[in-house]
């Protein structure tokens, strides 16, 4: 599909463009956090503990008097970092395993797909919890663990595409001209198999952000004082009866972010798949 045709289809999808706008806005907020945040996110002011939203603190303050808006703005950078690094690692692993399995087939395919089936037998979130509990909670450990436990879907997608593409005429012609296996996979098959991977990666970012927020909420993710939407929600849980804003605003940020990536991912899928043109 030509790039111009892809963008024309994507622009016709209002929900997808809404998602893209929100994603771009989130990027801008995370990059401009030092200039957009009205306060230092870690500045403690015990005189303004659990203040409701006012003109001075638009989203209120937390149990240590820290500005919630500033912490949510800085937390957006954490969420994006976790989402993209984790999904990037998962996509890389899935591409390699899926490409090798689909290209070579036979016993190689059987062994690799049984590995995928084995990984799918474990509930992903509980597997992440178990691994994180054994490691020191940190943002880097979270990104690596999420990446290492979420590559199976990408591997299956890439394998299916390679099984379909490797019998096409352009691959047979390239092989007849003496192209090596590595060149066939990287130069001829992989570019034609990336469309479903793009959709999976976009949706995967939303899932990674949601997982990181859940881990931080449970105290196994990003550790204070580093701001994260999940650990802001933890403070909200402890004070939900007297400080509703601590749960509402970070929860709204998570909802908007996950929804925007899901809308964008669905829009990309519809723009790429000609069967969904109408």
Torsion of CA 93, 96, 102, 104, to 10 degrees: -140
What pLDDT band is residue 2 in, cutting at 50, 70 and 90?
low
Residue 106 sits at the vertex; the CA angle it makes with 104 and 111, to the nearest 5 degrees, is 95
137: domain CATH number?
1.10.3720.10
Structure tokens at 121: 């037998």
Higher pLDDT, 199 or 138: 199
121 falls within a domain: yes
Q: What is the mean pLDDT of residues 170-189?
A: 82
Higher pLDDT, 249 or 171: 249
Number of domains composing the chain? 1
235 falls within a domain: yes
Which pLDDT score is estimated for 226? 86
Burial 93-116 (b: 16+ CB within 10 A, else e): bbbbbbbbbbbeeeeebeebbeeb
Residue 164, C-beta contacts closer than 8 angstroms, at least 6 positions apart = none
Average pLDDT, the chain: 87
150 falls within a domain: yes
What pLDDT band is residue 80 in, cutting at 50, 70 and 90?
confident
Which pLDDT score is estimated for 278? 47
Residue 259 structural domain: 3-36+66-276
Statement: residue 109 has pLDDT above 50 = yes
What pLDDT band is residue 135 in, cutting at 50, 70 and 90?
confident
Mean pLDDT highest for which of 137-146, 210-219, 250-259? Answer: 250-259
245 falls within a domain: yes
Which pLDDT score is estimated for 196? 85
Statement: residue 136 has pLDDT above 80 = no
Which pLDDT score is estimated for 275? 53
126 falls within a domain: yes
122 falls within a domain: yes
51 falls within a domain: no
187 falls within a domain: yes
- Mean pLDDT is lowest, of 33-37, 39-43, 134-138, 225-229, for 134-138
Number of helices (H) and strands (E) in the chain: give both, helices first: 13, 0
- Say how far apart CA 240 and CA 247 lie, in whole Å: 7
Residue 192 sits at the vertex; the CA angle it makes with 191 and 198, to the nearest 5 degrees, is 75
Statement: residue 31 has pLDDT above 50 = yes
The string of DSSP letters for 149-175 reads TS-HHHHHHHHHHHHHHTTSHHHHHHH
What pLDDT band is residue 141 in, cutting at 50, 70 and 90?
confident
């Amino acid at each position: 599909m030509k790039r111009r045709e892809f963008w024309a289809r994507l622009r016709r999808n209002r929900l997808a463009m809404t998602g893209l706008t929100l994603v771009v806005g989130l990027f801008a907020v995370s990059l401009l956090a030092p200039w957009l945040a009205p306060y230092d996110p870690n500045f403690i002011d015990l005189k303004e503990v659990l203040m409701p939203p006012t003109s001075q603190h638009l989203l209120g303050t937390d149990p240590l008097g820290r500005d919630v808006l500033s912490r949510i703005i800085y937390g957006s950078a954490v969420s994006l970092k976790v989402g993209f690094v984790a999904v990037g690692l998962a996509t890389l692993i899935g591409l390699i395993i899926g490409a090798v399995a689909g290209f070579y087939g036979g016993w190689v395919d059987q062994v690799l797909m049984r590995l995928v089936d084995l990984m799918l037998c474990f509930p992903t979130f509980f597997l992440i919890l178990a691994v994180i509990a054994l490691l020191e909670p940190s943002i880097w450990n979270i990104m690596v663990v999420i990446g290492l436990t979420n590559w199976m879907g990408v591997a299956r997608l890439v394998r299916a595409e390679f099984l379909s593409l490797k019998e096409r005429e352009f691959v047979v012609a390239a092989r007849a001209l003496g192209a090596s296996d590595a060149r066939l996979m990287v130069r001829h098959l992989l570019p034609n198999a990336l469309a479903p991977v793009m959709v999976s990666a976009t949706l995967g970012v939303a899932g990674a952000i949601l997982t990181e927020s859940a881990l931080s909420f449970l105290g196994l993710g990003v550790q204070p004082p580093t701001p994260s939407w999940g650990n802001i929600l933890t403070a909200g849980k402890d004070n939900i009866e007297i400080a509703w804003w601590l749960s509402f605003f970070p929860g709204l940020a998570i909802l908007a972010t996950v929804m925007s990536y899901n809308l964008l991912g669905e829009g990309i899928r519809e723009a790429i798949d000609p069967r969904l043109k109408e």
